[in-house]
Structure 1
């Protein structure tokens, strides 16, 4: 009789994450990092070096997901909250299918 051995990957599958190849996941992480750093821009990276550094060194999609709040704060300081929110919303769309269901965005009760 074969016993079930839980692993991070099988647990992630149970939570609703899509099964992707390591290369696909690495490509998606790179694309998201690039979009986040591009949104921050050169002047933003100079003003908020810790945020830029954390984005550059994030090793998984969940880390990048949680860095959206730091990026939002930096972008709001640079460009205003409305612009920052629009940018974060566009970046959040890139996470579709990469996160467990519990980490996805939910509609705000406050509306837009």
Structure 2
């Protein structure tokens, strides 16, 4: 007797090495993509080696925690390009998007991390 009946979806997920989708995965992924999009928009119109590197890091960040820790690097990238006021404003707009998305260990100091 088989415990796990194979079907096309399970086979594709196994081949791609991805976890099976859960009922809340779409919501979680949508929040992740909204934050990623907002962070990438901060780099819009800028060019250069550091901007390209930051763009790649944001695009390939695998989870919400990775994006959370990339905020500081985004600030550092924006600083010489647009100035401290603009970089801080960008961070202030992005930080609230993480509300309710982070694991418990990162949630408590959310307001303390808002300003770098």
SS in 1 for 2:44: helix
Distance 2:87 2:62 in 1: 24
* Larger relative contact order (CA 8 Å, sep ≥ 6): 1
TM-score (norm 2): 0.69
Unaligned runs of 5+ in 1: 1-19
Is 1:93 paired with 2:100?
no
Aligned CA RMSD, in angstroms, stands at: 2.1
Q: Which has the larger radius of gyration?
A: 2
Q: Deviations over 1:39-94 (max 9, x none)?
A: 11132466521111000001100000000011001111111111111111110110
One of 10, 28, 44 as aligned partner of 2:31: 28
1:84 to 79, 84, 87: 87
Map of 1:57 onto structure 2? 60
- List structure 1 segments (4+ residues) > 2 angstroms apart after TM superposition: 44-47
Q: Aligned pair count?
A: 90
Structure 2, unmatched stretches of 5+, are 1-22
